[in-house]
Amino acid sequence: MSDFYRYFKENMDGLGLPAPESLFGSLQMAVSNAAVFASHLDKFARNITVGEMVGAGTRLEQLGVAATLSAAFYVGAVIGSIAVATGRTLSGGTSLADVLLLARRRNLHRHWLRPSLQKWPGIYDPRMPGRGLYRHSVTRR
């Protein structure tokens, strides 16, 4: 297991979200899959669930656990976790600016990303209290 994936999974686990190694095992795989997720959001709208995205997309079958979550939240968590893992691998920390810069450099920036990360800063900051409860606040009923 790479350091990148260990940090990525640790961050996603802290949010109570699945992070299959087959999809996120390396920086390249994580960025590639995040780009696929983001393109599905661009195509199918921001308010879809991960379950709806699974039905509309490819390579997402392993995310059934997250099916009722807002897809924008999950993709934001993936992008934030990529930044956290990259920051911890390279320098030991991550800020909102780091996340947004990484997203822009990797062509993952979307208009909804900044507001989502501002609303749920625990996506990229493990010190935020209650971050494991975020997923309950974004389920679609």
Q: How far apart are CA 46 and CA 31, in angstroms?
A: 19
Identify the CA nearest to 96 among candidates 68, 124, 119: 124
In this predicted structure, which of 27-36, 61-70, 93-102, 128-137 has the lowest mean pLDDT? 61-70
9: confidence class by pLDDT, cuts 50, 70, 90: very high
Task: Confirm if 119 and 138 have CB atoms less than 8 A apart.
Answer: no
Average model confidence (pLDDT) for the chain?
80
Query: Contact 12/18 with Cβ under 8 angstroms?
Result: yes
* pLDDT of amino acid 141: 43
pLDDT at 2: 81
**How large a percentage of the chain has pLDDT more than 70?**
79
